[in-house]
Amino acid sequence: MYKDIFKISSKKFKSRLIVGTGKYKNFNECAKAVKISGADIVTVAVRRVNISNKNKPVLMDYINPKKITYLPNTAGCFNSDEALRTLRLAREIGGWKLVKLEVLGDKKSLLPDMIETLKSTEILTKEGFKVMVYCNDDPLMAKRLENVGAVAIMPLAAPIGSGLGIQNFTNIKLIRNQTKLPLIIDAGIGQASDATIAMELGCDGVLINTAIARARKPLEMAKAMKYAVIAGRKSFLSGRIKKNLYGFASTPNKGII
């Protein structure tokens, strides 16, 4: 019996939707959204985690790391040194080796600095980290990340938090065709149809934060994204019909009275 398994490095997951934990009104809303979404993985910005003030709430009080995989990320890092220091700290705090690398180029566009990203990926891989990499949608750079040991390629659909949806279908398809690594759309998703389209292009998963957290009804959007990802994956595996310029009758011509 065929089983469609979502696997990153050596870990298997049921849900292909990864959910961010930032921008929610509070931890309680975040936890509810994660549960409704059915996500098995949540990203956590290490630089914004409370690890010293015992009087303030911590995410782990709301989302159990024994039930949900925490994916430490380097959100807010703008060079390789900052990113490396952040993920080494994450390893010391929680023993995490599966991580998401994100090195931004500037504070306005929030586009990835691919030179610093590539350098960081190579160093982290040699240190034993399993690196999932946020990157631009350049197939050549995606291949370089794969060659230096990344365990997942995570190209943006559009700038972080923009909600513009996938802007370059061709490049996403090219990346899909050249890699056997998990391909996960990261950044730019705005609505459920964007997530479905990403999955129909053959992506293995989608990472969503702002589109859920800042929706008018975050919990309802979390549910919508859950089913959008499932529908998109099933559509991709089913195999779409060939596109035709002209109409093609759905009823047979034989036996017409």
Instruction: Give a yes or no: residue 51 inside a domain.
Output: yes
Kindly list the catalytic residues: 100
Instruction: Give a yes or no: residue 106 inside a domain.
Output: yes
Confidence (pTM): 0.89
- What is the reported pLDDT for 224? 97
> In 140-253, where do the E strands start and end?
152-155, 184-186, 205-208
> The domain that contains 118 carries what CATH number?
3.20.20.70
Instruction: Give a yes or no: residue 255 inside a domain.
Output: no
Query: What does the buried/exposed string (b/e) look like for 81-117 if buried means 16 or more CB atoms within 10 Å of the residue's CB?
Result: ebbbebbeebbeebebbbbbbbbbbeeeebebbbebb
Pull the structure tokens for residue 188. 């730019």
Smallest Cα–Cα separation from 20: which of 80, 96, 100, 125?
Answer: 100
Domain total of the chain: 1
Instruction: Give a yes or no: residue 245 inside a domain.
Output: no
Q: Which domain holds residue 46?
A: 6-238
Cα gap 178→170, rounded to integer Å: 13
Instruction: Give a yes or no: residue 41 inside a domain.
Output: yes
Instruction: Give a yes or no: residue 42 inside a domain.
Output: yes
Q: Which pLDDT tens digits describe the chain residue by residue (257 residues)?
A: 457 889 999 899 999 999 999 999 999 999 999 999 999 999 998 865 655 566 777 888 899 988 999 999 999 899 999 999 999 998 988 888 999 999 999 999 999 999 999 999 999 999 999 999 999 999 999 999 999 999 999 999 999 999 999 999 999 999 999 999 999 999 999 999 999 999 999 999 999 999 999 999 999 999 999 999 999 999 999 998 898 888 877 776 676 66
- What is the reported pLDDT for 133? 97
Sign of CA dihedral 96, 100, 101, 104: negative
Instruction: Give a yes or no: residue 246 inside a domain.
Output: no
Instruction: Give a yes or no: residue 247 inside a domain.
Output: no
- What is the reported pLDDT for 1? 42
